[in-house]
Amino acid sequence: MAKDFTKPDPSVVLDLLQAFRWSKTMFAAVSLGVFDALAEGPRSLESLADGLKANQDALRRLLDGCVGLQLLDRDDNGYRTTPASATYLCRKSPLSVASYINYSNTFYWKLWANLEDAVREGTHRWKQAFGWEDNIFANVFRTEEAKREFLLAMHGYGLMTSPEVVAAFDLSRFRSFVDVGGATGHLAIAACERYPDMRGVVFDLNEVVPLAREVVGASKVAGRIEVVAGDFFEDPLPPGDLYGLGRILHDWPEQKIHKLLSKMYERLPPGGGVLIMEKLIHEDRRGPVWALMQSLNMLTLMEGKERTLSEYETLFKRAGFGDVYGSRNATPLDAVLALKAPIPPPSLRSPHSA
């Protein structure tokens, strides 16, 4: 008798087979300037093809692909942006992540093409993809245009996540927030906007300082934030009672993290803390998918990885910190707060703490 055989649903395989095409469609549309060209309103195919200097038939396929992906819509007036693409994919939008998408298209896409070798060797792929031998940041900052694109990529991502991170815990008891490796200062800006008695410092490399001052200077809290140049591994840290690390620790292996956290611990007053912004992997390592994919991204990109809350707790306690709290957020990044004794009362904890 023949066995009763029911085929499993193939959608998980078929969706992933298509996924790189979906990403590249969005990447190409951003790179070509499609969403910026539509920022002022609908335009016909002919007008877009002329303005973007693109083949009309090929552009139609790209635009229709964006319609299918719900990044564009189309009616008798032509193609137009959707609320999501107008907000996140147009460069003039204050919440734009277009620079991050271009960075993903220019760098991440090529690094991920060598994922198999990264897994075999356990090292990043910069040399294989680009032939770069030295520090990757030196290459990312190789021109003013490249440096600005990278920093604005991090800034756009931070605008979506930093407000949630500084709201994850009650930080009102802290008075001086030092955003270490803060780039454009989005984390310090979010902290000072939420806590009116807090003052901030953005601490980053000398070549980052001009753009940081530009962004901070345009914020509502410019008068309460200072921008200071320095290397957080080599130079003394500015004084503060709360240090922030926005997507810094996932760049580095344990020994470098220990060096930095120990440095912070020694610099902090009793009761001070460190707030980090990373995506936490679940303790059973089954998710969330965003964190698991980002950990693979770090494999191709840097020396670090994404971690579980318990792994971060181990790192903090090894450096001398006491209680460590985690908060999982709806945005792409979570929050972890580590405190130097004396340990504050439980009321400090967010109701969303992990």
Q: Which residues pair with 275 in a beta bridge?
A: 244, 337
> 235 pLDDT band (50/70/90 cuts)?
very high
Min mean pLDDT across 140-144, 180-184, 271-275 is at 140-144
Strand ranges in 108-198 using DSSP code E only, listed in sequence order: 176-180
CATH 3.40.50.410 fits 137-348, yes or no: no
Cα–Cα distance for residue pair 53/270, rounded to 1 Å: 61
* 202: pLDDT strictly greater than 70: yes
Model pLDDT, residue 123: 92
Q: How many CB atoms lie within 10 A of CB 162?
A: 27
Model pLDDT, residue 187: 96
* 180: pLDDT strictly greater than 70: yes
| Cα–Cα distances in angstroms (integers) from residue 328 to residues 161, 322, 336, in the given order | 12, 20, 9
User: Is the entire prediction scored with pTM above 0.85?
Assistant: yes
Sign of the C-alpha dihedral computed for residues 26, 31, 37 and 39 taken in this order:
positive
Min mean pLDDT across 32-36, 140-144, 221-225, 273-277 is at 140-144
Cα–Cα distance for residue pair 122/124, rounded to 1 Å: 7
Percentage of the chain exceeding pLDDT 70:
94
Candidate list 124, 186, 250, 352, residue with the active-site label: 250
Q: What is the mean pLDDT of the chain?
A: 92
> 141 pLDDT band (50/70/90 cuts)?
confident
Cα–Cα distance for residue pair 153/141, rounded to 1 Å: 13
Q: Are strands 334-339 and 324-327 parallel, antiparallel or unpaired?
A: antiparallel
Return the CATH fold of 11-88.
Arc Repressor Mutant, subunit A (1.10.10)
* 99: pLDDT strictly greater than 80: yes
Strand ranges in the chain using DSSP code E only, listed in sequence order: 72-75, 78-81, 176-180, 199-204, 225-229, 242-246, 273-278, 324-327, 334-339
* 234: pLDDT strictly greater than 80: yes
Cα–Cα distance for residue pair 278/307, rounded to 1 Å: 9
> 134 pLDDT band (50/70/90 cuts)?
low
pLDDT tens digit string along 286-307?
999 999 999 999 999 999 999 9
- Region at 183 (left for phi over 0; alpha for psi -120 to 50; beta for the rest): left
Question: What residue segments make up the domains of the chain, in order of their start?
Answer: 11-88, 137-348
* 352: pLDDT strictly greater than 70: no
| Cα–Cα distances in angstroms (integers) from residue 326 to residues 21, 187, 197, in the given order | 35, 17, 24
> 5 pLDDT band (50/70/90 cuts)?
low
Nearest CA among 217, 252, 275, 247 for reference residue 100: 247
* 62: pLDDT strictly greater than 90: yes
Give 308: exposed, middle or buried? Use CB within 10 Å, 0-12, 13-18, 19+. middle
250 is catalytic: yes
Residue entry with tokens 């819509």: 73
